[in-house]
Amino acid sequence: MNIRAVAFDLFGTLLDVRSLEAACAADVADTAPFVAFWRQKQLEYSWLRALMGRYEDFWSVTAAALDYTIEHLKLSVGEAGRSRLLAAWLSVRPYPEVAAALAALAPRPLAVLSNGCSRMLEENLRTAGLDGCFAHVLSVDEVRTHKPSPAVYALAEDRFGLPRDQILFVSSNAWDVAGARAFGLTVAWVNRARALPEKLGATPHLVLGSLTDLREHTGT
């Protein structure tokens, strides 16, 4: 592969969404199913808003998904608790191999390409110690829709100024992988959970067990 730049999804790929469980423990008793349901509803709302053409930024989407989750699970969470739960999305912990994996890709330019709004991206990269790693931090706010819209993946092509097949897009989310592959990017799926691939006719070029495996496939 002739890879000249690399773009990464953020939530679930560089940052471990399951780390929210510890941050939620003060307000929710059974944190694992709570976070899993909240995350799924968050993604569903982003997809539905993209399809409906009714954009709201990812912070608002996350807040609406939280309110649904609290009501669905019949939890008693006051305003202070709700604020604490939402704030957890500003400091999601990185996977342990992230810093070394990013350093190994030098000197290629790197980017984050995320559904997250600018505030979420900036705060998370800062608290994870990754804010100096990327040439570009790209939010869907620029195109006012969410992944897997082709307009989102076009941000990487535009900002890097490279042909699509020379940009490697890395994501742990199988639906995101399919969207990027359909757009024409070279795609690596970080399949930490050993999940089944989606049946969408858009398979990744690479399937990795962790970000550490990137070095082997990118010639660094």
What CA–CA distance (Å, rounded) separates 36 from 69?
10
The second-level CATH assignment, the architecture, of 17-90 is Orthogonal Bundle (1.10)
Query: What local confidence, expressed as pLDDT, does residue 26 receive?
Result: 94
- The 10s digit of each residue's pLDDT in 30-63 is 999 999 999 999 999 999 999 999 999 999 999 9
Query: What local confidence, expressed as pLDDT, does residue 215 receive?
Result: 83
What CA–CA distance (Å, rounded) separates 133 from 109?
9
The ranges of the chain annotated as CATH 1.10.150.240 are: 17-90
Q: 9 catalytic, yes or no?
A: yes
Q: Are 120 and 9 in contact (CB under 8 A)?
A: no
Query: What local confidence, expressed as pLDDT, does residue 1 receive?
Result: 75
Query: What local confidence, expressed as pLDDT, does residue 106 receive?
Result: 87
Catalytic annotation, pick one of 9, 16, 27, 141: 9
CATH 3.40.50.1000 matches 5-16+92-218: yes
Residues of the chain below pLDDT 70: 219-220
SS3 6: strand
Claim: this prediction has a pTM higher than 0.75: yes
SS3 116: coil
The ranges of the chain annotated as CATH 3.40.50.1000 are: 5-16+92-218
